[in-house]
Amino acid sequence: MSKKISVSKAIREGLHEEMVRDDKMFIMGEDMAVMGNVFAITTGFLDEFGPNRVIDTPISEEGFMGMAVGAAMRGMHPCVELMYDDFVTECADPLFNQAAKLKYMSGGQCSIPLVLRMPMGSGRRNAGQHSQSLEGMVCHFPGLKVVAPCTAEDAKGLIKAALRDPDPVVVMEHKLLYARKEEIPDGEYITPIGEAKVRREGKDLTIISWSREVNFAMEAAETLAQEGIDVEVLDLRTLVPVDWEAIRKSVSKTHNVIIVSEEVKRGSYAGELSAEIGEELFDELDAPVERVCGLNIVSPFSPVLEDQNFPHPADIVKAVKRVLNK
């Protein structure tokens, strides 16, 4: 049995189920309690779970992230939300220098079961300080697990997996996916961290992507199929630890790769994947790996300009044809 709900409702279900299951879990962030989150994900949680487990914070990301790290060290299970992923720069020390490193630096004596939810991405006309995709930055730091779902099913399954993980997990949620409605299974389920999923089988070229761009890759694949080009779409779902076996298997089948990401191209996680594929799977490639990413600019406020700032299905189609010399 299944049901059709939005991505935001799927995340809400995952959070609610884990709040009921685990009395050590609490959620915190700006406007999370009284307002119920700016995307209405936690509406009603304050009434059900009370102010000790649903906490409105001051506009002080470094402060409440530090509080969450301390709570995790003491055995609690905090789930923190940044209103936008752009604000991760405000809490860099407690996240990157403390949460990511304390298990290693304590010789495994101190686990940090902390989840950080970060709405990300362009397309809402939020301008330069509220529209970034910072996967490359977050994935750089050893000690953090990073997931980026594209479907409602995985949005729920991965948030539940993250909340049960003994290590810090960053959940990157694209803001323009929240309203997308899709079928998800009834009942409880978990999407394992570290497992990619082939969304479409193909033999001519592999598109590797995650989050919202997976949907664009699927649209591009359907367009290309009408021209006789058979593309495989691999949804990573988890960025760290990446499912290298799934990448190896797909690249070894198609021998051509493009990586599609909404990030700014310079310093992107797409660039890291491209380098790894070039190093480890060079003999499998018929052509160089190509990246299809956002432009190296500050995200514009102008709707017309912003829509030129990140890859669309037509950009992916052009890239596939370039790689295949079509």
Same domain, 49 and 140: yes
Same domain, 146 and 237: no
Does residue 259 contact residue 292 with C-beta atoms inside 8 Å? yes
In a domain, 190, yes or no: no
Same domain, 47 and 165: yes
Of 74, 66, 19, nearest in space to 42 by CA:
19
Q: Which domain holds residue 226?
A: 197-324
pLDDT digits (tens, 9 = 90+) for 2-16: 899 999 999 999 999
Mean of all residue pLDDT scores within the chain = 95
For 8-55, the DSSP string reads HHHHHHHHHHHHHH-TTEEEEETTSSSS--TTSSSTTHHHHH-TTTEE
- CATH number of the structural domain spanning residue 250: 3.40.50.920
> Given 185, 216, 251, which residue is the final one in a domain?
185
Same domain, 263 and 123: no
What's the mean pLDDT in 102-129? 91
Same domain, 179 and 316: no
Which listed residue (30, 77, 81, 130) is catalytic? Answer: 130
pLDDT digits (tens, 9 = 90+) for 193-237: 999 999 999 999 999 999 999 999 999 999 999 999 999 999 999
Q: What is the DSSP letter of 266?
A: T
Token representation of residue 45: 């949680």
In a domain, 223, yes or no: yes
In a domain, 192, yes or no: no
In a domain, 13, yes or no: yes
For residue 134, name the pLDDT band (cuts at 50, 70, 90).
very high
> Which parts of the chain are beta strand (E)?
2-6, 25-29, 54-56, 77-81, 115-120, 145-147, 169-174, 181-185, 197-200, 205-209, 231-235, 238-240, 257-264, 290-294
130 belongs to the catalytic site: yes
pTM recorded for the entire structure: 0.95
Rounded Cα gap, residues 33 and 96, in angstroms: 26
Neighbours of 156 (CB within 10 A): 27
Same domain, 145 and 180: yes
In a domain, 140, yes or no: yes
Same domain, 217 and 167: no
Same domain, 252 and 293: yes
User: Number of structural domains, the chain?
Assistant: 2
Chain centre distance of CA 182: 18
Same domain, 119 and 12: yes
Three-state DSSP class for residue 117:
strand
In a domain, 116, yes or no: yes
213 belongs to the catalytic site: no
Distances (CA, A) of 228 to 203, 225, 231, 233, 247: 11, 5, 10, 16, 23
For residue 293, name the pLDDT band (cuts at 50, 70, 90).
very high
Token representation of residue 295: 């432009």
In a domain, 165, yes or no: yes
β-strand pairing of 77-81 with 231-235:
unpaired
> Given 164, 185, 206, which residue is the final one in a domain?
185
pLDDT of 128 strictly over 80: no
> Given 157, 185, 213, which residue is the final one in a domain?
185
Does residue 165 contact residue 193 with C-beta atoms inside 8 Å? yes
- CATH number of the structural domain spanning residue 13: 3.40.50.970
Which listed residue (61, 135, 173, 232) is catalytic? Answer: 61
β-strand pairing of 197-200 with 231-235:
antiparallel
pLDDT digits (tens, 9 = 90+) for 20-74: 999 999 999 999 888 888 888 999 999 999 999 999 999 999 999 999 999 999 9
Same domain, 315 and 227: yes
Does residue 158 contact residue 124 with C-beta atoms inside 8 Å? no
Same domain, 166 and 256: no
Backbone angles phi, psi at 245, to 5 degrees: -65, -40
Same domain, 214 and 175: no
**High-pLDDT (> 70) share of the chain, %:** 100
In a domain, 22, yes or no: yes
